[in-house]
Amino acid sequence: MSPESSVNFSQASSWAAQWQHLFYFLMGIFVFFSVLIFGLIFFFAIKYRRRSKDEIPPQIEGNLALEIIWTVIPAGLCVVMFVWASGLFFRNSRPPAASNEIFVIGQQWMWKVQHPEGIQEIDELHVPVGVPIKLTMTSQDVIHDFGIPAFRIKKDVLPGQYTSEWFTATKTGRFHLFCDQYCGTGHSAMIGWVIVMTTTDYARWLSGGVASRSMSDVGAELYVRYGCDTCHSRGKGPPFAGLYGSFVKLTTGQTVIVDDAYIRNYILTPSSQRVVGYAPVMPTFQGQLEEEQILQLTAYIKSLAKTESQGREAAKQ
């Protein structure tokens, strides 16, 4: 596919339209005050230019009323901007419950994308139009940032933890995706394309790919290959059925929900969050599992929550 010759910067997500309104408001403020200040400077500089060498102009100490006016008006505008921008951000900070989840792993200098159905792609992200998509992201090495200008979003992708961002694409087409956080030598090569398709095209694309197994199927295989089953299927460790989304009590006294971040931390540093009632025999898998494999294991654990009747409140995705 050839690179586009013009910038595809159309407002291609539901968020982009709301973003654009606020942006135009700020542009209005920018233009008004820039013109005001530049205009006054030019006007005063010409009108009050020095006309004789010894000229002494009238001295003006200041003016309290003016000071109050030009403090209160900018302050009021700042409040409007703050409330508008923060409200917009806050309302959109959590993805809708019905989002499709797709996983993104950043690594010097490429993007690996993993769909739950099993398809993996590199530097490309295929999504259906009109469906909320939640990206759960992590990095294998340094900090990256997954930004899509046409959607007006970006979020840092951190090593050692999950971050997420979400969008609902409103137009089909190809849109740039950029790494926005400087990540080393190949930073500017860490770019790719988001391909927004109609839902039917997307379904065809999902099924037409290389024959692949879903993330949870791969996870089930890893479960056996790494010997997780020797404890978790035999009562030495907690069984996975219904585990995802439930609450567990830790030996520290805390009660935490079993979610993606918890599972990841537990696999890598089990000693930090032992569960009450089980012997501390879980070894760390730090350095043995790739980030993708952790995501696949998580998908497997998540799939068990869905199939079992105990996992009622599970699978919030």
Partner 1 sequence: MSTALAEIEALPPVHYLNVSYGWRSWLFTTDHKRIAWLYLAAITFFFFVGGMAATLMRLNLIEPQGALVEPSTYNKLFTLHGLIMIFFFLAPSIPAVLGNFLIPLMIGARDVAFPRLNLLSWYIFMLGGFVFLYCTLSGGVDTGWTFYTPLSTTYANSNVMSAAMGVFISGFSSILTGLNFIVTIHKMRAPGLTWFRLPLFLWSIYATSVIFILAMPVIAMTMVLLMLERFLHVGIFDPALGGDPILFQHLFWFFGHPEVYVLVLPAMGVVSELIATFSRKRVFGYGFVAFSSVAIAFLSFLVWGHHMFVSGQSIYAGLIFSAFSFMVAIPSAIKVFNWTATLYKGSISYDTPMLYALGFIGLFTMGGLTGLFLASIAIDVHVHDTYFLVAHFHFIMVGGAVMGYLGGIHYWWPKMTGRMYPEGWARLAALLVFTGFILTFGPQFILGYLGMPRRYAVYPPEFQVLNVMSSAGASILAIGYVIPLIYLIWSARYGPIAGPNPWGAKGLEWTTASPPPTENFEVIPIVTEEAYAYGKR
For residues 207-246, which are near partner 1 according to CB under 8 A?
A: none
Asked whether the beta carbons of 99 and 317 are under 8 A apart, the reply is yes
CB 202 to partner 1: min, Å? 24
Asked whether the beta carbons of 272 and 210 are under 8 A apart, the reply is no
In this structure, what are the phi and psi dihedrals at residue 119, rounded to the nearest 5 degrees?
-70, 135
- What are the contacts of 208-213 at 24+ separation with CB within 8 A? 209/119, 210/119, 212/117, 212/118, 212/119, 212/120, 213/118
One residue of 178, 262, 278, 285 binding partner 1 per CB under 8 A: 178
Task: Restricting to residues 101-140, name those near partner 1 by CB under 8 A.
Answer: 108
Interface segment toward partner 1; rule CB under 8 A; list 85-93, 127-135, 232-240, 299-307: 85-93
**Residue whose CB is less far from partner 1, 298 or 303:** 298
The two structure tokens encoding residue 43: 């006007």
Asked whether the beta carbons of 268 and 283 are under 8 A apart, the reply is no
**Residue whose CB is less far from partner 1, 71 or 233:** 71
CB 16 to partner 1: min, Å? 8
The two structure tokens encoding residue 292: 């993708």
Cα 202 to Cα 298: distance, rounded to the nearest angstrom: 24
CB 269 to partner 1: min, Å? 8
Interface segment toward partner 1; rule CB under 8 A; list 98-106, 144-152, 232-240, 301-309: 144-152
One residue of 10, 17, 96, 182 binding partner 1 per CB under 8 A: 182
CB 72 to partner 1: min, Å? 10
